[in-house]
């Protein structure tokens, strides 16, 4: 019997998470690993009583086509002082699979360095999930989260465009993305918007 792998979901939900959890689980279940799905993201991983469930083939099949996330998510970003080897050692974890955006990825990197400093040999695989599309991935590499948000946004803006055309009114549509304008730009170009304003246009220039 092999050791275990732990799956952690960070940030907010996005269509496709359950498919990722299901696919990853099946790959390692076939190789004899125990698959542990953590509820509550990193906050649960480093708590005294981690909340988790064992994932088997039946569960993986059941969640594959479902929306949301079968594993409860959290935006908690732990500090270095919160890190601990307890969970990894107790459950013989050999691989940590993280699903999330830039915060989740950078935290996974810090965890890997911490574990290495403690001579705990654990690998990490990060699955990029970001609506903001702000992860430094190879050019043209899509992520789930962004793609589904863009598709939904395009449908909404196309509907609003028809309202604008028939009423003669102007509409301002805001897209999420924090400091990254990828989603707004992607939606705007897809619907041929007459004007697109994104944060990158201002290059940290104060807006007055």
For the stretch 84-112, pLDDT in tens is: 999 999 999 999 999 998 889 999 999 99
The answer to whether residues 38 and 69 touch, using CB atoms and an 8 Å cutoff, is: no
User: pTM for this structure?
Assistant: 0.81
Examine residue 76 and state whether it is found in any structural domain, yes or no: yes
* Residues 10 and 108 grouped into a single domain: yes
* Residues 149 and 125 grouped into a single domain: no
* Whether the predicted pLDDT of 208 surpasses 70: no
* Residues 88 and 178 grouped into a single domain: no
CA distance linking residue 187 with residue 8, whole number of Å:
30
Tokens of 36: 């542990």
The answer to whether residues 122 and 90 touch, using CB atoms and an 8 Å cutoff, is: no
* Residues 49 and 151 grouped into a single domain: no
* Residues 28 and 116 grouped into a single domain: yes
* Residues 11 and 82 grouped into a single domain: yes
Tokens of 197: 């304003």
Report DSSP letters for 138-206, one per residue: PTT---EEHHHHHHHHHHHHHHHHHHHHHH----------TT--HHHHHHHHHTT-S----GGGTTTPP
* Residues 124 and 157 grouped into a single domain: no
Among residues 127, 116, 96, the alpha carbon closest in space to that of 3 is found at 96
* Residues 34 and 114 grouped into a single domain: yes
Q: Range of 180's domain? A: 145-201
* Residues 21 and 121 grouped into a single domain: yes
* Residues 92 and 187 grouped into a single domain: no
pLDDT digits (tens, 9 = 90+) for 56-66: 999 999 999 88
pLDDT range class, residue 143, cuts 50, 70, 90: confident
Task: Provide the β-strand partners of residue 60.
Answer: none
Number of domains in the chain: 2
- Other beta carbons within 10 Å of 190: 14
Examine residue 28 and state whether it is found in any structural domain, yes or no: yes
* Residues 51 and 125 grouped into a single domain: yes
Examine residue 53 and state whether it is found in any structural domain, yes or no: yes
Active site residues: 132
């Amino acid at each position: 019997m092999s050791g275990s792998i732990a799956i952690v979901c960070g940030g907010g939900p996005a269509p496709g998470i359950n498919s990722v959890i299901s696919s990853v689980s099946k790959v390692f279940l076939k190789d004899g690993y125990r698959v542990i799905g953590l509820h509550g993201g990193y906050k649960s991983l480093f708590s005294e009583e981690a909340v988790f469930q064992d994932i088997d083939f039946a569960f993986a099949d059941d969640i594959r086509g479902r929306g949301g996330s079968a594993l409860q998510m959290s935006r908690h970003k732990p500090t270095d002082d919160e890190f601990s080897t307890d969970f990894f050692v107790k459950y013989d974890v050999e691989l940590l699979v993280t699903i999330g955006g830039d915060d989740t990825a950078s935290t996974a990197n810090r965890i890997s360095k911490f574990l290495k400093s403690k001579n705990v040999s654990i690998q990490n695989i990060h699955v990029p999930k970001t609506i903001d599309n702000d992860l430094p991935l190879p050019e043209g590499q899509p992520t789930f989260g962004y793609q589904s948000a863009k598709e939904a946004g395009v449908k909404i803006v196309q509907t609003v465009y028809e309202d604008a055309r028939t009423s003669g009114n102007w509409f301002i549509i805001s897209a999420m993305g924090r400091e990254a304008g990828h989603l707004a730009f992607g939606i705007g170009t897809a619907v041929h918007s007459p004007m697109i304003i994104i944060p990158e246009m201002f290059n940290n220039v104060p807006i007055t």
